Amino acid sequence: MALGTVVKAVIFGIDPSSRKLAVVHGEPGKKHLGHEVKTLPARRPDACLVAFEWVGALVDRYPFHHPYVVIEAPVFGRGGPGSTIPQAMINGALQAGAHDAGADVIDANNAHVKKEVLGRGNAKKDEIAAWAAATRPDLHAEFGTDQDLCDALMIWTYGVGVLKLRNRIAKRGVDVTVRRPVE
């Protein structure tokens, strides 16, 4: 791509769990956003491989965009190591797959995302669903009862805010590019 070429951004908001992955994806400012859910295999190594490959394939759908993958960080402590460790493993596989595909990865703390998007860091699931219904009734209707997709929309929205902040910083002359080794 030539110098000075404007590259459109695409944001992927991912709500991972140890059993499935929910994503909302698309360009900031565009009306249409894609969304999907990927069920993970029960065996952890297989689940990690699926997560790694899945996020890479998502990024590859937008070859002429700069990808930003925003992933909800695992919540440590809640549920004990039986849920925290598998979630952390899936999160790591997603981050590695996104980096491998050339995306910038943004780790998103759950309470911080809620605070930035909804105004309350301890917002409950029904509040997130109500926000999604009010903000994007078209998508919320497609989500049905899938709370993970509502969470993914919130994470995507947080990613839009992070990208806006990054662009404001860049306009002040600060280099915000991520340098990747050239092979």
pTM across the whole model: 0.89
Among 4-18, 44-58, 169-183, the range of highest mean pLDDT: 44-58
Distance CA 25, CA 153 (A): 8
Q: Residue 84 pLDDT > 90, yes or no?
A: no
Q: Residue 56 pLDDT > 50, yes or no?
A: yes
In tens, the pLDDT along 33-51 reads 999 999 999 999 999 999 9
Q: Residue 180 pLDDT > 60, yes or no?
A: no
Using 50, 70 and 90 to split pLDDT, how confident is the model at 31?
Answer: confident
Q: Residue 181 pLDDT > 50, yes or no?
A: no
- Structure-token match 């280099």, residue found: 175
Instruction: Name all domains of the chain by residue range, CATH numbers in brackets.
Output: 8-171 (3.30.420.10)
DSSP annotation of 174 reads -
Query: Mean pLDDT for the chain?
Result: 88
Beta bridge partners of 108: 72
* pLDDT for 170: 79
Using 50, 70 and 90 to split pLDDT, how confident is the model at 171?
Answer: confident
DSSP annotation of 81 reads H
Q: What is the CA radius of gyration of the chain?
A: 16
Distance CA 89, CA 92 (A): 5
In sequence order, the 6+-apart residues with CB closer than 8 A to the CB of 22 are: 14, 15, 16, 35, 36, 37, 38, 146, 148, 149, 151, 152
* pLDDT for 175: 74
SS3 of 6, please? coil
Question: Around Cβ 158, how many Cβ atoms within 10 Å?
Answer: 24
* pLDDT for 4: 46
Of 77 and 15, which is predicted with more confidence?
A: 15
